[in-house]
Structure 1
Amino acid sequence: MQQQIPFYMVPLLEKDPKMAEILTSNRDFIVADGALSAKVKTLMMMLCDALLAHENGVKAIADRARGMGATEEEIAETIRVAFWMGGLPGLVTGVNAFRED
């Protein structure tokens, strides 16, 4: 699965390539396997997008997590944590992880 470029990177690549380079470098450093696996960090990002009500982000990141080997059960448990920490809004946004476009 090819990783999609986040929508905000498209104009940055054209108008501010230095900033795009900095963001890419930071993302690569932060999301790399470490004490936590890249997959776990990706699920954490999905959780944050659910709490921030970024429904398209939840979908995109869930698909990225699946590409890294995340199971539907792992995604479901992550959505449960979004519900626990963010209430019904976290759950409502989180279920976009299961959306089929």
Structure 2
Amino acid sequence: MQQRDPQFAGSYQGMRERILKDGAIPAKYKLLMGMITDTIAAHPDGVRGLADNARAAGASEAEITEAVEVAYLYGGTAALVMGVNAFPGG
């Protein structure tokens, strides 16, 4: 998108950074929410990337594990299978 519409890409990136920073909800929890969404939507690269970003924002392995469990609760076994992408070696 950057090459096709740099204005849109810049706008999106700015909005993303603003929304995902610490606020009333800490950044690590926002990233875990995104990871849950990507787990249910079956986006393995997104699960992996968001889990890594959540770790960098201070999320513990226990928090990531519980987020995968929440994804399973709402997304079923397929989400649990996708959720293993949150861990190194998947």
SS at match of 2:48: helix
1:52 maps to 2:52: no
- Look up the equivalent residue of 1:52 and give its one-letter code: A
1:98 & 1:17 partners in 2: Cα distance? 33
**Aligned-pair RMSD on alpha carbons?**
1.3
- Corresponding residue to 2:56 among 45, 53, 67: 67
1:13 maps to 2:2: yes
1:100 & 1:16 partners in 2: Cα distance? 35
- Look up the equivalent residue of 1:64 and give its one-letter code: N
C-alpha displacement of 1:70: 1.0
Q: Deviations over 1:44-73 (max 9, x none)?
A: 000000010001110111111111111110
State the aligned residue count: 90
C-alpha displacement of 1:30: 1.4
1:19 & 1:100 partners in 2: Cα distance? 35
Q: Structure 1 vs Structure 2: percent identity of aligned residues?
A: 44
Structure 2, unaligned stretches of length 5 or more?
none
Structure 1, unaligned stretches of length 5 or more?
1-11
- Corresponding residue to 1:77 among 66, 84, 90: 66
Q: TM-score, normalised by structure 1?
A: 0.83
Q: TM-score, normalised by structure 2?
A: 0.93
SS at match of 1:70: coil
2:79 corresponding residue in structure 1 = 90
